[in-house]
Amino acid sequence: MQSEADGTLRKSALTGALAVLTLLAIGSDSASAADATAPKDGTVAYVLTDLHWAVYESADGKTECPAGFNEGNREHFKKLFPENGTTRTLLDTQLRREIDGWYPSTAPEPFEFHEAGGPTAYGLNLDGKLGPNDFAGPDGEKGIDNQLYRVLGCIRNYRPPEGAIQGFDNDEVTKDVYNRIIIELSGVESLVNDNDVQVMVYRGRDPILLDSTGKNAIPGASQRIDTRWGAKFVQKLHGRITDGVLTTDPADLVYPWAVFYIPTDEFMHAARFKLKLSPTGAEGMLGGYTDIETWYSQMMRSYSTHHQSYGQSSAPSIYKALRRLADGYPDAKTGANSAISSALLAKFTQIVIVPASKNQVASMSLQPAVVPYAGPPFPRSVEEETAENGAKVAATTGPGEK
């Protein structure tokens, strides 16, 4: 007959065994959960589907633009050349203003420019400091560097969702294959936490697979890498994933951005991605110091004076603001800053890269770093620009007026 001591011992042993099995089950579940966050073969790729300059907006716009929004080309033209019966030439009026757009200067002008202000802006802390001109992010992060927001924030063209240029820029990301930016993460042990991830940047060759609305990308589509004409866009970055957010180390980045089928490229110094990851997509920001001359050239080539006037942009005024607010990468000759802190809001959708094109990438060498656009030929000093501007542009009376 079983003694009471034997029963107690067997009961304790059974309880202990159950506890061990429970711990093993929990451990197994945890391991399975961890494994579930790791992409197949440690690799996952995403294609860009949305991209636009990060412009923070308050409910009524008065926090960042208390003096209102900026005037555009049409308003400035009417002030420079009023309809008062004065005889003028095409060369001294319309063509003159077109030249001022294509060959901009830092010379003063008689138009007030409203810079975006307020305490809040999207962006990243690019310099690792807390400066007097920094913003706070919408999430409260301090030290946000985004001086390009000061330039664009009070221009209707760049204020989403109604801003025409913002809208065109974003729409063309999916419409024009030239804009097919791909990022591929490899060596990924977990999409939640991984302190050592390789990130490759490519340009794709194929259309984006959209749903029946024609607006939303569908995950899982295939893309081929453009290893010929897109070779200059193949770049290697290093990053890490923390709490599901990918952050890459700063690196100079060139990326395609065509609007209305006009191929142009953007150049960003010390660029870095900050993206919230999921198995089917990624969303967040690309921040860095945007090269001024490259940015301005892209805007002028993509948007005529007509398009700029949709939302009251004035190219000459924008250029002066860019140069005035530039906060990085001083020019070796003049000492003037050549780049401006900035941020882009971006969305990506998961794709599968065609293996054959991956093999082509493996056999090619990375091209030398792209050199930013140097600006128009025959650069002039600020003194020369000011003298010319004073004689032909800055005066509020048109040529021949008394």
Tens of pLDDT, residue by residue over 328-347, are 999 888 889 999 999 999 99
Tell whether the model's pLDDT for residue 84 goes beyond 70.
yes
Q: Within a 10 A sphere around the Cβ of 68, how many other Cβ atoms?
A: 11
- Cα-based torsion angle of the residue sequence 116, 119, 122, 127 in order, rounded to the nearest 10 degrees: 100
Tens of pLDDT, residue by residue over 224-274, are 999 999 999 999 999 999 999 999 999 999 999 999 989 999 999 999 999
- As given in the structure block, the two tokens for residue 279 are 């198995």
Does 185 fall in a domain? Answer: yes
Does 35 fall in a domain? Answer: no
Average pLDDT taken over every residue of the chain: 87
pTM of the model: 0.86
Checking DSSP bridges between strand 281-291 and strand 328-330, what pairing results, if any?
A: unpaired
Does 2 fall in a domain? Answer: no
**Phi, psi dihedral angles at 48 (to 5 degrees):** -70, 135
Domain boundaries, position 135: 41-371
Tell whether the model's pLDDT for residue 402 goes beyond 50.
no
Does 376 fall in a domain? Answer: no
Number of domains forming the structure of the chain: 1
Q: What is the pLDDT of residue 394?
A: 43
- As given in the structure block, the two tokens for residue 226 are 């453009």
Does 219 fall in a domain? Answer: yes
Q: What share of the chain is helix, strand, coil (3-state, %, to 5)?
A: 30, 25, 40
Does 27 fall in a domain? Answer: no
Does 396 fall in a domain? Answer: no
Per DSSP, the residues of 11-35 read HHHHHHHHHHHHHHHHHHHHHHHHH
Does 32 fall in a domain? Answer: no
Beta bridge partners of 330: 337
